[in-house]
Amino acid sequence: MLSMEAKIGRMQRLLRMLEQEAPLLARRVSDLTPEHQQSAKSYVARLTAQVRMELETLQEQSSHWDHNDPTPQPAD
């Protein structure tokens, strides 16, 4: 089982990746029909919003978490 800090770290990395890749999305979907372009962009927007909400939830839970938790931390 992952520690709370490891979960938060993973969510932060995923959010950074989604935010960094957003400008490239237009180029990647440019060959698609306008409907499919909009669908892809809205999916990524919903996914990013969901990751942000889950990250906030984990950070709130972490404030109540025992920081002396002996669960080993995975190496990146």
Residue 70 has pLDDT above 70, yes or no: no
Rounded to two decimals, the pTM is: 0.73
63: Cα within 13 Å, side-chain hemisphere: 5
Q: For the segment 24-65, what is each residue's pLDDT rounded down to a tens digit?
A: 988 999 999 999 999 999 999 999 999 999 999 999 888 765
Q: What are the φ and ψ backbone dihedral angles of 54, each rounded to 5 degrees?
A: -65, -40
pLDDT of 8 reads 92
